[in-house]
Amino acid sequence: MDKARPAFEPGGKLHAFRSVYDGFDTFLFTPRETSRSGVHIHDSMDSKRTMIIVIVALLPCLLFGMYNCGYQHWLACGATEFPFWEMFLYGLAAILPAIVVSYFVGLGIEFCVAQWRGEEIQEGFLVTGILIPMICPVETPLWMIAVATAFSVIFVKEVFGGTGYNIFNVALVTRAFLFFSYPAKMSGDSVFISHDSILGLGGMAPDGFTGATPLGQIATSGAQNAAEAAASLQGVNGQAIDLWQMFLGLIPGSFAETSTLCILIGAALLLATGIASWRIILSVFAGGAVMSLIAHWCATPTYPASFLSVGEQLCLGGFAFAAVFMAPDPVTSCRTNTGKYIYGFLVGAVAIIIRTYNNGYPEGAMLAVLLMNALAPLIDYCVVEANVRRRLRRAAARS
Amino acid sequence: MSISIKLKKGLDLSLAGAVATPQPDDAPMVTPATVAVTPDDFAGFIPKTEVREGDTVKAGQPLLRDKNTPGMKLVSPVAGTVKAVVRGERRKIERVTVEVNPDGEAVRFDTAKAANNAEAARALLLESGLWAFTRQRPYDIVTDPNATIRDIFVTGFDSAPLAVSRHDFTADTVSRLEAGVRLLATLTKGKVYITRRPSQGMPDIKGAEMADITGPHPAGNAGPAIAAIAPVNKGETVMTLSLDTLWRIGSLLTDGTVPAVTTVAITGSEVKTPHMARTIIGADMADLLKDELDDTPRHRRIISGNVLTGVAVPADGYLRFPYTQVTVIPEGDDVDEFMGWASLSTEKMSTSPSFPARLFGKKRFKPDARLHGGRRAMIMSGQYDKVFPMDILPEYLVKAVLAKDIDRMEQLGIYEVAPEDFALAEYVDTSKLELQKIIRQGLDYLRKELQ
C-alpha cells in the first residue's frame, strides 16, 4: 500500500481516487496517526470495529434468512423433502444479487461523495448496505432496491453531512421508500416467497398458494374471535403455524427478520460488546409487550390482529428485528439515557398500535421506528432542559 | 469532620510502568543543568519578559510577568544565568531557560503580614509566583486576583494513570500544609476544602474541610469534587490548587523562600525501572531521563504529566507544570498493524468487551499514542456519560461549544468544567474527537466574548 501511495497524493495521476485509497488503506492497516492534542492514548475501539460487530451480529439472521427463503420456496412447491444445502444455496442465490446491488449503489455514492468532499470513506454504509436486502421481501426487483438505496443514501444521509448526521435510519427509509412507492410489489400474497428456480435449484412454484405474512393474513382474515384468528395463521403449505415456529422463524416474511431466535443471538452479541443500548432494546420489548397486552385485553373483531397474544405479537413481523437492529441505531435514536427509555418504550408501543389498529398496514415496526426517529430529538430536548432547569434552580437558590 | 463522596462513574486505566515503591526513603536527587519556565502551562497568563539573556537571577526572582494582571509573576526556581528567552511564532514567548548555579542565592520574601491579611497574602503569592500555580473555575485559567473567591478546593491526591499521590505526612509536612491553609483562608469568605483518599493516610488539616473521595479516576480532579460539594454557578469563582502547591505556599511562609524541589514519578512502559526522583521544577528531560529509557530503538513519546492531560515534550524538553510526573510510552507511528480493527489481540487496551483482554482479568497494558481509528462525527451515544461523574451532559456541552452557542454553553454548565474533566471521555471516544481541545477553545471563546 505504501508503494502505491504517491500516485494518490495531490498531483498524482490517481488523485481522483484518493478517498478510495484511504478507505482501503485504513481498512487494511490501522492508521499510524498519533494523537496531537489532549490525551496521549486512545481506546482501541473505533467506529470500524463497531460497525463490523453489528454485521457479525446480523450474520445469524442473514444465514437463517437464506435457509428460510429456500424452505418457504420448497413449501410453496409442495415438496415433501427438504434438502438442507440445496435450500440454503437457493436462499443464498436469491439474496446475493440484492446484497451486491445494495452495496454497489450505496458504496458507489459514498465513494463519490467522500472524494468530492475530500474526506476519508466512512464505514457507515457497511451496516446499512447489508440491512437493506435483509428487511425487504425476497422478490423485490433489483432495480427498485437500487433506486431506493440511492434515494436514501443521498437524501437521508449525505445531504445532512454523512455518517453520524442523519436524522432517520437510512435502511428503514429505503424500506419505507419502497413500501410507499411500489406498494403493489412490497406487500400482499406473493412477494415474500421466491417463486422461480434459481441456478437450477428449486422448482417453479405454482400459482395460488398463500404466501402472505402471518400479520398480513390476520389483518385480512376478518376473524371474529381468538380461535378464528389463530386459524387464519397458516404457513405456505396451508397448515397452521404455532408460536414455536414463529419464534424459530420458519414463516414467510421479509428476508432476514423472521427468526426471533437468531435476532436474540445477534442481540446477545450487541449487548455483550456494549454496542447496542440495552436501555433501548429492553424498553422496546417492554413497550411492545405492554401495548399488546392492552390490545389483547380489549380484543375486538374490528381489528383481528388484537386477538394475537403478547408472545405472537413480539415474535411476528419485523418487531424483534426493529427492536434489536433498528431502534438502537445510536445516530437516530435518543442520546440521553433517560430519553432512551422513553424512546424505546414508544417505539414498541407505537409498532403494536399501528399493526393492530390499522388493517391497511399489517406491519408497524418500520413506521414506529421512523416516527420515533423524528421525535427522538424532542425527547432529548426535554431531558436536556430538565438538566438546564436543575442548574438554573441551583443558581437561583444560592443568590 | 469530613465530607464523604463516592464516585461511581469514571475509569482507572491499567498501564504498565507503575512505580513499584511510591514512598522510597531516599529518592535520588537529579540536579539539572538547566531549568525552564514555560508560560503555556499557565492558561490565561500572557507573558512579558522581566529579564534578558545573560542576566544573573536569584531563585525566586521574576522571569516573566503577566501583561494584564499587575503584580502576577513567574519566578525562576533556581539561581543561575538566563540562558535563553525562546520565542515561537509571532514572537510568542515559549519558555525562559535558566542555567543552574548551585551556589546562587535565593530571594527572601517578607511573609510576616501575609498570614492574616488578605491583601498581603495575595501580594505575597503573586510576587512569589505561586499564585500562578492556582487555577480558577470558570475558564480553568490562573486565578484572577481581583475575583471574589467563593471557595478554595485543594486536590490532595492524584488519581490519574500511573500517578503517585503524596503519602508522607510528617509533622513538618502537616504544619506546612496548615500554614498554607491559614493563608488561603484569608482569600475567601467560603471554605478551604482538601480532597483525600481514605487510604492515603492524610490527617485532618486544621482550618480545612476534608473531603474523602472514593471511586475511579477522575476522583482526584477538582471538577468532580466541586460538583459534589458545591457546583460553580454563573458569576461565582472558585480557586483550585494541588496539595503540592499548598505545601509550597506553606513552605514559603515557613522558610521565606519558594521551594523549588519537586518529587517526580518517572513512569511508563518505556522506562527501565519506574521510580520516584527528586529534582527541580522545570528540570530538563535530558538529565531527568538519562539512562532511564529502554534500549530498544523505536519512536517514543515523552509526556510531562500523565497520559490523559500531560504535554508531549521532545527529548531535550523540560519538565512542565505541575512537575510531578513523567510518562514515556511508545509513539506507535513506526508500527504496521494489519487490520487492527479486527484484532483479537490481548495486548489491545479498550473499555470494549469486544477485545479479549477483558476476559483475562486485570492486566497492565502498554498502549501507544495512536488514535486507533479515524476521526468521525459523534456516532455512539452515552460513551462520555460513563466516565463523567458530574451532573452535566458532556455530549450536549461539547456540541454547544462546537456551535459557539454561548447561552447554551452557560445553560449546560460550561462554568463548572475544565478540559481535564473531558480527558477520559476523549480516551474512550470511538469517534476520536479532540474533546479537551474543543473545551479549551470553548472556554477561551467564552472568556473573550464576555470580558
Predicted pLDDT of residue A185? 72
Q: Which residue has the higher pLDDT, A77 or B140?
A: B140
Q: How confident is the model at residue B379 (pLDDT cuts 50, 70, 90)?
A: confident
User: What span, in angstroms and rounded, lies between the C-alpha atoms of B333 and B370?
Assistant: 7
Selected residue of A24, A46, A384 to mutate for chain B interface (largest B Cβ count, 10 A)? A46
- A41:B378 CB<8 A: no
Selected residue of A3, A22, A42 to mutate for chain B interface (largest B Cβ count, 10 A)? A42
State whether residue B309 is helix, strand or coil. coil
Closest-CA residue to B114 (of B191, B207, B185): B185
> For residue B441, which amino acid is it?
Q
Q: Which residue has the higher pLDDT, A223 or A242?
A: A242
Closest-CA residue to A199 (of A113, A89, A295, A124): A89
Query: What would the pLDDT profile of B425-436 be if each residue is shown by its tens digit?
Result: 999 999 999 999
Least confident range from A149-158, B109-118, B403-412: namely B109-118
Secondary structure element (H or E) that encloses residue A100, with its range: helix A84-117
Determine contact, residues A186/A179, Cβ cutoff 8 Å. yes
The DSSP secondary-structure symbol of A270 reads H
User: What span, in angstroms and rounded, lies between the C-alpha atoms of B219 and B390?
Assistant: 11
Query: Between A and B, how many residue pairs show a Cβ–Cβ distance under 8 A?
Result: 211
Predicted pLDDT of residue B139? 93
In this complex, which of A27, A44, A395 lies closest to B234 when CB atoms are compared?
A395
Length, in residues, of chain A: 399
pLDDT value at A11 more than 70: no
Closest-CA residue to B218 (of B387, B418, B433): B387
Q: Which residues of B397-432 are buried (b: 16+ CB within 10 A; e: fewer)?
A: bbbbbeeeebebbbbbbbbbbbbbbbbbbbbbbbbb
- The verdict on B400 touching A (C-beta cutoff 8 Å) is no
Contacts of B411 in chain A (CB under 8 A): 388, 391-392
Residue located via cell numbers 438554573: A392
Q: How confident is the model at residue A6 (pLDDT cuts 50, 70, 90)?
A: low
User: What span, in angstroms and rounded, lies between the C-alpha atoms of A218 and A235?
Assistant: 12
Chain B residues 338-397 with CB within 8 Å of chain A: 338-343, 348-355, 367-374, 376-382, 385, 391-393, 395-396
State whether residue B262 is helix, strand or coil. strand
State whether residue B350 is helix, strand or coil. coil
Determine contact, residues B182/B205, Cβ cutoff 8 Å. no
How many beta carbons lie within 10 A of that of residue B188, not counting itself? 17
Cell representation of residue A110: 459514498
pLDDT value at B418 more than 90: yes
Query: What would the pLDDT profile of B62-80 be if each residue is shown by its tens digit?
Result: 999 999 988 999 999 999 9
Kindly report each contact of residues A63-66 with a partner whose C-beta sits within 8 Å and lies 24 or more positions away, as own/partner: A63/A88, A63/A262, A64/A249, A64/A256, A64/A258, A64/A259, A64/A261, A64/A262, A65/A91, A65/A95, A65/A134, A65/A255, A65/A256, A65/A257, A65/A258, A65/A259, A66/A91, A66/A92, A66/A94, A66/A95
Determine contact, residues B84/B60, Cβ cutoff 8 Å. no
Query: What would the pLDDT profile of A244-301 be if each residue is shown by its tens digit?
Result: 888 888 888 888 888 899 999 999 999 999 899 999 999 999 999 999 999 888 888 8
Beta bridge partners, B29, equal B278
Predicted pLDDT of residue A26? 72
Q: What are phi and psi of B151, to 5 degrees?
A: -145, 165
Q: B67 Cβ partners below 8 Å, 6+ apart?
A: B46, B47, B48
User: What span, in angstroms and rounded, lies between the C-alpha atoms of B90 and B21?
Assistant: 45
Least confident range from A19-33, A123-137, A335-349, A381-395: namely A19-33
- B380:A29 CB<8 A: no
Give how far the C-alpha of residue B257 lies from the chain's centroid of Cα atoms, to the nearest Å. 23
Determine contact, residues A124/B431, Cβ cutoff 8 Å. no
Query: What would the pLDDT profile of B11-45 be if each residue is shown by its tens digit?
Result: 999 899 999 877 776 788 889 999 999 999 999 99
| A335: closest CA of chain B, how far (Å) | 5
Angle (CA) A123-A129-A131 rounded to 5° is 120
B54 burial via Cβ count (<10 Å: 0-12, 13-18, 19+): exposed
Q: Which residue has the higher pLDDT, B149 or B346?
A: B149
Give how far the C-alpha of residue A212 lies from the chain's centroid of Cα atoms, to the nearest Å. 20
pLDDT value at A35 more than 90: no
- B391:A387 CB<8 A: yes
Determine contact, residues B58/B103, Cβ cutoff 8 Å. no
Determine contact, residues B355/B329, Cβ cutoff 8 Å. no
Segments in B230-322 forming alpha helices (H)? 243-255, 285-288
User: What span, in angstroms and rounded, lies between the C-alpha atoms of A363 and A216?
Assistant: 8
State whether residue B264 is helix, strand or coil. strand
- Calculate mean pLDDT across residues B87-109: 91
- Calculate mean pLDDT across residues B188-210: 92
ipTM surpasses cut 0.85? yes
CA distances from residue B195 to B55, B90, B168, B416, B418 in whole angstroms, order as listed: 41, 41, 16, 17, 17
Query: What would the pLDDT profile of B322-349 be if each residue is shown by its tens digit?
Result: 999 999 999 888 777 777 777 777 788 8
Predicted pLDDT of residue A254? 83
Question: What ranges do the domains of chain B cover?
Answer: 385-450
Secondary structure element (H or E) that encloses residue B38, with its range: none
In this complex, which of A40, A120, A273 lies closest to B303 when CB atoms are compared?
A40
pLDDT value at B179 more than 70: yes
The percent of residues in chain B predicted with pLDDT above 90, rounded, is 69
pTM of the model: 0.91
* Omega within 30 of 0 (cis) for the link into A304: no
Q: What are phi and psi of A127, to 5 degrees?
A: -75, -45
Cell representation of residue B213: 473521595
Query: What would the pLDDT profile of A126-146 be if each residue is shown by its tens digit?
Result: 899 999 999 888 888 899 999
User: What span, in angstroms and rounded, lies between the C-alpha atoms of B302 and B50?
Assistant: 30
In this complex, which of B337, B395, B411 lies closest to A30 when CB atoms are compared?
B337
Closest-CA residue to A187 (of A211, A164, A168): A211
Predicted pLDDT of residue B437? 94
Predicted pLDDT of residue A199? 66
Beta bridge partners, B137, equal B238
- The verdict on A272 touching B (C-beta cutoff 8 Å) is yes
The percent of residues in chain A predicted with pLDDT above 90, rounded, is 36
User: What span, in angstroms and rounded, lies between the C-alpha atoms of B208 and B179?
Assistant: 11
User: What span, in angstroms and rounded, lies between the C-alpha atoms of B255 and B362?
Assistant: 45
Chain B residues 224-253 with CB within 8 Å of chain A: 231, 233-236
CA distances from residue A227 to A219, A221, A232, A301, B48 in whole angstroms, order as listed: 15, 12, 9, 12, 89
Determine contact, residues A20/A27, Cβ cutoff 8 Å. no
pLDDT value at A184 more than 80: no
pLDDT value at A233 more than 70: yes
Q: How confident is the model at residue B145 (pLDDT cuts 50, 70, 90)?
A: very high
Q: What are phi and psi of A338, to 5 degrees?
A: -65, -45
- Calculate mean pLDDT across residues B297-307: 90
- B369:A34 CB<8 A: yes
State whether residue A289 is helix, strand or coil. helix
Q: How confident is the model at residue A12 (pLDDT cuts 50, 70, 90)?
A: low
Determine contact, residues B328/B367, Cβ cutoff 8 Å. no
